[in-house]
């Protein structure tokens, strides 16, 4: 399993500069997000995503990785912002990502 997006793409989406200090954590967030995507997609082993991956997989890899990057700021269920108050973290962080990725999903785990 490999990330579908690059560290540079993730950093650009968060307006960060990749440094020796943050590169490993950026990659870790991308890898964890890719694992979530692979779980959500539940693709047949004989039909992995093509290389290069579809833009939808790249975009969602970045979006989920951003959430992993920022999750420590929301450790108590909210993210504080001086201008607008506290934003409550959604209960299911990844349900909306699963819905977005549905066009690439092959199995749905219906029992």
pTM of the model: 0.75
Query: How confident is the model at residue 57, as a pLDDT?
Result: 95
Residues 61 and 100: their CA atoms lie apart, in Å, by: 11
Q: List the chain domain ranges.
A: 7-104
Could you tell me if 110 and 47 are in contact, meaning their C-beta atoms sit under 8 angstroms apart? Answer: no
**pLDDT > 90: percent of the chain:** 44
Helix (H) or strand (E) holding 68: helix 55-70
Residue 83 pLDDT: 55
Mean pLDDT calculated for residue range 74-102: 62
Q: Is the pLDDT of residue 106 over 80?
A: no
- Quick one: average pLDDT of 8-33? 96
Q: What is the pLDDT at residue 110?
A: 57
What span, in angstroms and rounded, lies between the C-alpha atoms of 60 and 58?
6
């Amino acid at each position: 399993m490999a990330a579908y997006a690059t560290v540079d793409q993730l950093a650009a989406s968060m307006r960060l500069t990749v440094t020796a200090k943050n590169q490993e954590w950026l990659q870790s967030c991308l890898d964890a997000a890719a694992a979530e995507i692979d779980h959500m997609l539940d693709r047949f082993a004989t039909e992995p995503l093509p290389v290069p991956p579809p833009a939808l997989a790249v975009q969602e890899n970045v979006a989920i990785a951003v959430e992993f990057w920022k999750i420590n700021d929301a450790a108590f269920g909210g993210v504080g912002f001086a201008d607008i108050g506290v934003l409550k973290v959604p209960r299911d962080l990844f349900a909306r990502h699963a819905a977005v990725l549905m066009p690439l999903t092959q199995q749905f785990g219906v029992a």
